[in-house]
Every structure is written in structure tokens, then in C-alpha cells.
């Protein structure tokens, strides 16, 4: 198959693409539909050219781009940087900056420290400038009503939707969730949320290769609960299938703090890989934690964790 034939079969001839978009828009929006189609066609073709080969992932990203952009605000733009499709109501320069300054360094750090298998299917990032466009995009794409969340992940569609008005921490959180799908799809919720929450607030190591968690607002919840002697036992959190609901905020704080503790001990990457590889035999991770921390049981792990918390609170 020639390169031109591959591009045409994958993306569709421009005339067909324009016609398809035009039929999907009301009559008064035909001009917008044409502009959207031409924009996506140009970006998709450029992505395949950058790939430098008959790249199936780049082609799949082009198809995803054609799907997502018409559902976004009129001012939206789009970039294709396989495996990522990045779209939102930002300028092309702002999207490029988001990719270069946030998506690329965060994902590189996560892949280096934890995830051995990179995406083999498109990952879509919808980044919105503020509350109004975030609410509109969430409703149009997924039927979601505006909520207190600053972003969310649609795992089945491999799509992240984030409100950048709250900062870029939510983007890092949701990226952790989606990249984990390709490497540890059976990760239990407590660890999935702990690892993702840890990366809401990070700095890079001195060599610029790894992400290091630092304290954030969840840390205050954790220290307050410890001070009031209302901190649940670690075992009850990691064994509880009902992670969300009542006590959800404190649950998030506990698992983030515990991942921070493991990272400071130099064990988080080791735990991730040993847990991933042995999850069938150790579905909660308790046995793996005891092995790595030299503890007789999960109660001893909890006591070590609380001692670490108390030492940090006393600084």
C-alpha cells in the first residue's frame, strides 16, 4: 500500500471529510463545520507525516481527532502528538505549550518510574480554559453535569477532561490513571487513587528524570485526622471496596500520604512493579507491602506509616 493510499484510507479524502462534518452541523454552522474539517484534516495529515512511516497509532489518533473536536467550543483547537490527541478552547500555541511543559514531562516521568507498557491506542486530553467551557464540554461529550471535580477520566474512551482554571495538578492526576490502564489494568482503587493523587503536586528530581511528591492540601486533611486521633487504620482503607462515598476525602488523603511515605523510603517504584506482577496472588497489596517494609503484618506497616506522619507533623 502506498503512503498516499494509507493516508487517504485512514483519514478520508478532504472532500468527503468536509461533507461529513457539514451534515453533522446545523445549516447556519456549515461554515464552521467546513473550517473544523479542514483543520482536523491538516493536523491529522501532519501527524502522519511526522510519524515517518505507516504508523497505525498515528492513524488511530487522526480518527479520534475527527470525533472529538466537533463536540468542543467553537474556539477550540487540536494537536496530534501520538499517543496523545490534545484539544480544547486554547490557542494552538497554548496547546503546544501544555504538551511541552506538562504532558510530555509528566508522562516521561511516570513511564520512567512505573509504567513499562506505553499506550497502543489514542489517549485524548480535553483541556478547557475555565468553568463554563469545562461544564459545556463535559455535558456534550459525556452527559456530565458540572460538579465539584476539576477533571475526570473516561476509561472506556481513554479520555481525560480537565479544567485548567484549577491548575495543572488535575491533569497529572488523570494522566496517571489513564497511563496505568495500559500497564496495570487490574490496579485496585486505593493504589490507583493514591498514585494519581501523589502526582497532583510534584517537583522533579535534581537530574530532571523522576517526579517527587510534595505536600499539598490533602496532607493537611491527613495531619488533622492524625492530630484528632480520627485516622482510620490503613488496612481498613486498602481492603475496603467502597473507597468512595462517606469519608472519601480522607481516604484520598490517606492513600496519597502512604504513597508519599513509600516514595520517601525509596520503595514506591519497587512496590508498584512487584504488586502489578503479583496482583493475582495478592489482590490488595498487603503481602507485598509487608515483604518490602520488613513488617510482620499490615498492622506493623500502619504503625511505621503513622510514625512517619508524626515526625513530619513535628517539623
Percent of the chain's residues with pLDDT above 70: 81
Give residue 145's pLDDT: 79
Q: Residue 70: count other Cβ atoms within 10 Å of its Cβ.
A: 18
Residue at grid coordinates 503481602: 287
Residue 126: beta bridge partners?
87, 161
For residue 155, what are the contacts with CB-CB under 8 A and spacing of at least 6? 177, 178, 181
Q: How many CB atoms lie within 10 A of CB 236?
A: 12
Record the cell numbers describing residue 302, joined without a space: 500502619
Q: How many CB atoms lie within 10 A of CB 94?
A: 15
How far apart (Å, rounded) are the C-alpha atoms in residues 293 and 311?
Answer: 18
Element at 126 (helix H, strand E) = strand 123-128
CATH class of 52-183: alpha beta
Residue with cell 497509532: 57
pLDDT, tens digit (0-9, with 9 covering 90-100), for 29-50: 545 555 555 666 666 666 666 6
User: For the chain, what is the mean pLDDT?
Assistant: 86
pTM for this model (two decimals): 0.84
Cβ 198 vs Cβ 175: under 8 Å: no
Structure confidence by residue, pLDDT tens digits, 190-215: 999 999 999 999 999 999 899 999 99
CB atoms within 10 A of CB 203: 10
Q: Is the dihedral of CA 12, 14, 16, 19 positive or negative?
A: positive
% of the chain with per-residue pLDDT over 90: 68
The distance of Cα 298 from the centroid of its chain, to the nearest Å, equals: 29
Among 10-14, 57-61, 173-177, 245-249, the minimum mean pLDDT is found in: 10-14
* Cα dihedral 291→207→217→198 (10° resolution): -40
Query: Where do you find CATH 3.40.30.160 in the chain?
Result: 52-183
pLDDT for residue 44: 63
Amino acid at each position: 500500500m502506498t503512503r498516499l493510499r494509507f493516508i487517504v484510507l485512514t483519514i478520508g479524502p478532504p472532500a468527503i471529510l468536509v461533507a461529513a462534518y457539514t451534515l453533522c452541523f446545523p445549516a447556519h454552522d456549515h461554515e464552521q463545520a467546513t473550517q473544523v474539517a479542514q483543520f482536523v484534516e491538516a493536523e491529522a495529515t501532519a501527524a502522519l507525516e511526522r510519524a515517518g512511516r505507516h504508523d497505525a497509532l498515528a492513524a488511530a489518533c487522526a480518527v479520534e481527532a475527527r470525533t472529538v473536536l466537533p463536540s468542543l467550543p467553537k474556539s477550540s483547537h487540536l494537536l496530534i502528538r501520538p499517543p496523545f490527541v490534545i484539544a480544547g478552547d486554547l490557542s494552538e500555541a497554548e496547546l503546544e505549550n501544555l504538551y511541552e511543559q506538562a504532558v510530555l514531562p509528566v508522562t516521561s516521568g511516570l513511564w520512567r518510574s512505573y509504567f513499562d507498557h506505553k499506550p497502543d491506542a489514542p489517549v485524548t486530553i480535553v483541556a478547557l480554559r475555565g468553568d463554563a467551557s469545562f461544564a459545556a464540554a463535559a455535558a456534550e461529550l459525556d452527559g456530565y453535569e458540572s460538579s465539584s471535580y476539576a477533571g475526570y477520566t473516561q476509561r472506556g474512551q481513554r479520555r481525560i477532561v480537565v479544567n485548567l482554571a484549577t491548575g495543572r495538578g488535575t491533569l497529572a492526576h488523570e494522566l496517571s490513571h489513564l497511563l496505568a490502564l495500559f500497564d496495570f489494568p487490574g490496579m485496585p482503587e486505593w493504589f490507583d487513587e493514591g498514585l494519581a493523587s501523589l502526582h497532583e503536586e510534584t517537583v522533579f528530581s535534581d537530574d530532571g528524570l523522576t517526579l517527587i511528591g510534595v505536600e499539598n492540601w490533602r496532607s493537611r486533611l491527613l495531619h488533622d485526622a492524625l492530630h484528632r486521633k480520627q485516622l482510620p487504620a490503613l488496612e481498613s482503607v486498602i481492603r475496603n471496596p467502597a473507597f468512595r462515598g462517606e469519608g472519601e476525602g480522607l481516604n484520598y488523603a490517606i492513600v496519597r500520604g502512604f504513597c508519599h511515605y513509600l516514595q520517601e523510603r525509596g520503595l514506591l517504584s519497587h512496590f508498584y512493579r512487584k504488586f502489578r506482577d503479583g496482583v493475582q496472588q495478592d489482590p490488595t497489596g498487603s503481602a507485598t507491602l509487608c515483604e518490602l517494609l520488613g513488617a510482620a503484618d499490615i498492622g506493623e506497616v500502619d504503625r511505621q506509616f503513622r510514625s512517619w506522619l508524626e515526625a513530619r507533623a513535628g517539623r
